[in-house]
Amino acid sequence: MKGYDFFRPMTELDLDWVLSIEQQAYDFPWSRRGFEQALDDGLAYVFCDAQQHKLGYACFLTVLDEVHLLNFCVAPKCQRQGIGRVALQALQKHFCAANYQIMLLEVRVSNAAIGLYESLGFVQNGIRPNYYAAWDYQDGELVKVREDALLMSCALKTD
């Protein structure tokens, strides 16, 4: 995809924008503290176009040779344009080059991004019951419920 300059490290200067996008994209957004922790861990990135306009972000945690995708978001106005695919492919290559072996994630079972993840080599490994907070209409009222998480992984290297 031309015109994109994926990706750069997230900084504190990005946090207001990231929090705004997080609140637009999710019913149960991360807190500022969650993103500050990701910055402290040094594994938070922003996706930008060639003019350095922010398009989305990702936060990771690493353990040994595993990299865990904790938060991956394309700004709602930029979704359905292939940005998520290009960004995640670039991040997979980045972590592969850094000798990580596997990328892991949890995703809501209702999330349309499951198809994207599968198309990029992720496989389903299991279910984490009642992992996410969610909203549901019950008897005409909006109530807080729980939603399962799908556990997925993708090999970054083959032996």
Q: Which residues contact 100 (CB under 8 A, 6 or more apart)?
A: 62, 65, 66, 67, 156, 157
Residue 120 clears pLDDT 90, i.e. is over it? yes
**What is the model's pTM?**
0.85
Catalytic entry in 100, 106, 131, 141 = 106
Question: pLDDT tier at 98 (50, 70, 90 boundaries)?
Answer: very high
Q: For 8-155, CATH number?
A: 3.40.630.30
Strands 54-63 and 44-48: antiparallel
Q: How far apart are CA 133 and CA 124, in angstroms?
A: 21
The answer to whether residue 118 is catalytic is no
Beta bridge partners of 136: 143
The answer to whether residue 147 is catalytic is no
Catalytic entry in 22, 117, 137, 141 = 117
> What are the domain boundaries of the chain?
8-155
Q: How far apart are CA 50 and CA 3, in angstroms?
A: 5
**Per-residue model confidence as pLDDT tens digits over 45-62:** 999 988 888 999 999 999
**Per-residue model confidence as pLDDT tens digits over 123-152:** 999 998 887 777 666 666 666 767 888 999
Contact 83, 55 (CB under 8 A): yes
Q: How far apart are CA 70 and CA 59, in angstroms?
A: 5
| % the chain with pLDDT above 90 | 62
- Selection from 5, 23, 15 nearest residue 44 by Cα: 15
